[in-house]
Amino acid sequence: MVVGQHFNMKHHDLIFSGAHIVSGGKTKLIDMAIQGEKISALGAPGTLGSAEKIFDVTGKYIIPGAIDVHVHFREPGYSYKEDWYTGTQAAAMGGVTTIFEMPNTNPPTRSAVELSEKKALAEKACVDFGIYGLLAEDNLNEIDSLISDGANAFKCFMGNTFGNLPSPSTGAMLEGFEKIAKAGLRISLHAETASIMAHRQKKLEEAGKNEPLNHLDARPEIVAIEAVSRAAVLAEWTGARIHVLHISSAGELRPLNEAKIRGVDITGETCPCYLYLDTSNYENLRSVIRVNPPVRTKSDSDEIWKALRNGVIDMIATDHAPHTAAEKMKESIWEADCGFPGVETQMPLMLTAVNQGKITLEHYVKISSENPARAFGLWPHKGNISIGAHADITVIDIHRKETIKAANLHSRGKITPFENFKTTGAPVHTLVRGRFVQKDRNICSDIKGHGKQVSDIQKMPPAKPNNAEHAIDKILEK
């Protein structure tokens, strides 16, 4: 956060005055000016000149807008659950200014054709976005065209989840890693081993075991430990950049950290449900709590908090995955859809943790904005409050008290395990590239279509494959 520089000392579009600005691990009482889509000046209070509008936010904090690299907006194919407009409205309400949307739609984003169709649907987005391409067994010949046509990252489902996309073999994963490494794009992993889960769930169902905790029985932490370990070895061999999604267990932290120590370009995220919920919540929440991977024990939650604080886990995301109440409220746990909305509630939940002393506000900014921007090639344009960066900012009232109510969520999915959860701290204004998309805890009008894909700023230099001479494409060329 550089203070005292400017594009234009005389006149700006907007000046925020009176706030504490949090960025780069520091908090300072300074004014911030915006010109067009970018931050144009930072300086001591009253020193930035004039503006079309001076916005007094005394007593508030300004942070870089959150970047959620893990959301499911369900369109195409399941727009009755969510679409790009409702999902990005929820993001704006949650202080999230950039999202990355997952490929398990219908059809899945497995080729340049589906990518183009999804881009057209995303034209109604209210916040900026990236789009994942799929890495699967049967679309390896589509990877290059997905990259050239603007996929911002790739998703590999090592374990089954909504949409029932088949998990690729390890051979297909290796080839996909080799191809994507050349472009430098990050590969996000649903890191659970499909064969173990399928075997255990089949035996549980045959025995008539269908209670909520049986979902956890089908997916013990070994499925994550094995999958993270295997993916890390493949990434080490190929030079691929990988990201472990929704870390839920203490066990997978060891292979994650060991891979980092070995120099693997690996990052990891967790979600609020793995921090705030545990097996004690299954009895009351029943099928509402079903999510992949499952919510685990209090001991797992405690270790995940530690890893989030010490940097083993790099970022907070949400796995925003809305469903209808009818799809969630099932007697048999195997029939309930997995997941729930999260993009709107993440920041209030994590600011509550700040107020409780579990993390500092500066560290929250690091895991919600700075680290995602760096890992996915958006730095320094996003995740950063500095001169020339995008004016993607969230103004927070650290003391504002609210109660999470499903009926008030802007997502089409109106069911959450955090129903009636009391929070302290909330995003009261959200700006995307200098424009208010949420103001005074209300969605702004005429923001439909304001969001842009991040391809024009994303910089992911090619990785340096450790064993490029052994890549299958290279061998076939000989």
Just list the catalytic residues: 319
Contact 365, 440 (CB under 8 A): no
Q: Whole-angstrom Cα distance, residue 155 to residue 146?
A: 12
Phi and psi based region of residue 360 (left: phi greater than 0; alpha: psi -120 to 50; beta: remaining): beta
Task: State the Cα angle at 199 between 194 and 201, rounded to 5°.
Answer: 95
Contacts of 145 (CB under 8 A, 6+ apart): 111, 112
> CB-based burial of residue 356 (10 Å sphere; 0-12 exposed, 13-18 middle, 19+ buried)?
exposed
Specify the DSSP element, H or E, that contains 20: strand 20-23
Residues β-bridged to residue 429: 395, 439
Between CA 309 and CA 317, with CA 315 as vertex, the angle to 5 degrees is 125
Residue position matching structure tokens 């344009």: 381
Structural contact between residues 30 and 42, judged by C-beta atoms closer than 8 angstroms: yes
Burial of residue 7 (CB within 10 Å: 0-12, 13-18, 19+) is middle
**Residues 366/66, Cβ–Cβ less than 8 Å:** no
Cα dist. 296→21, 22, 100, 280, 338 in Å?
Answer: 36, 33, 26, 9, 15
Q: Which CA distances in Å does 422 have to 307, 345, 349, 351, 446?
A: 25, 11, 9, 11, 31
Of 90, 91, 34, which is closest to residue 62 (Cα–Cα)? 34
